[in-house]
Amino acid sequence: MNNHAPPCNYVQCDGIDLELFLCSDVLKLRSLHYGYWHHNQKPTLHNLRKSQQRYTDTLVALIPPNVKTILDVGCGIGDVAHALVQRGYIVSAISPDTNHAKYFNNRSNSLSFISTTFEDFTSNQQFDLILMSESQNYFDADVGFQQCRRYLTPYGYLLVSGKFRKERGEAFQDVVNVEKEYVHKASQYGFRLLKCIDITNRVLPTLDLVHKAMHEHVEPFIVMIEHYLHSRAPVITTALRLVLWRQIRSIRGLFRHYQEHTDPSHFEDKCTYLRILFQVA
């Protein structure tokens, strides 16, 4: 895998992750991560916003008490970074997505933003804790651990929250890291496991919400476009028709990918959603 590129199923255009752009600029979500749902909470867009805030609150609660400085790797639109600053932490937030810088216009001495990948990140500073909230699958684990050792203070912490595969296989290949392999590799880089919390059941309603939206809104839209192309076929040039049908096939392929990856039962069978706290040994 190219260490400087996200997994192949992440769709980018001019440095913007289109999936994240949909969440932030179309759906107007204040967070880009999964929600942390109450049991029996109905999966609606309104409740998703509430559960995303709960995700942030429960994540921040895992930070050890002696931490002051934090590097937020893959900060998204900054909801976690801003929550950390509000709680008194000094935060450096990084993201390679060119759309994210605008969410950090009101910076302060406690919050800075750098547009970069974690692989290319350089700094004269070391941090008490490095946070990876749904970002650990965007880069090679070896590179990630090497960078963490470089920029963590002695006895510093690494807090990871995100998706892991249960074992290697054909399914969910964009979930790069396998749980047991990741924890073992961390130990090889001198990280001691402090906590590993499985919150899969708490995040599954997020997938349920997206899965239903794909069926109810996205698929009918694709079918409508296909009907339109059929009806307009006689007045569309052959070259243009081929281009349009190629685009439709591409969209269909993405739709099938997201349908599979947002199926809660399929996800639960192949993956876990973990929160893992390490400390430099």
CATH number for 170: 3.40.50.150
Same domain as 233, residue 141? no
Could you tell me if 276 and 213 lie in one domain? no
The answer to whether residue 150 sits within a structural domain is yes
Q: How many CB atoms lie within 10 A of CB 138?
A: 24
Q: Which of 112, 133, 119 is nearest to 63 (CA)?
A: 133
pLDDT mean for each 10 residues of the chain (281 residues): 40 47 48 86 88 95 97 93 96 88 80 95 97 96 98 98 95 93 98 98 90 63 62 61 65 60 87 98 92
Counted domains in the chain: 2
Note whether 153 and 70 are same-domain residues: yes
* 3 three-class SS: coil
- The reported pLDDT for the residue numbered 187 is 98
pLDDT score, position 7: 44
Helices within 135-237 (DSSP H only): 141-151, 179-188, 200-213, 219-232
158 lies in the same domain as 19: yes
Domain span at 257: 203-264
Separation of alpha carbons 71 and 222, rounded Å: 41
Claim to verify: residue 69 and residue 144 sit in the same structural domain: yes
Together in a domain, 82 and 143: yes
Say what the pLDDT of residue 3 is.
Answer: 37
> Are 153 and 121 within one domain?
yes
Amino acid at 130: I
**Residue matched to tokens 């509430």:** 50
Cα–Cα dist 153/111, whole Å? 19
Whether residues 207 and 98 fall in one domain: no
The pLDDT, as a whole number, for residue 263 is 86
Same domain? 133 vs 162: yes
Same domain, 17 and 44: yes
pLDDT of residue 4: 38
* Residue 20 forms part of a structural domain: yes
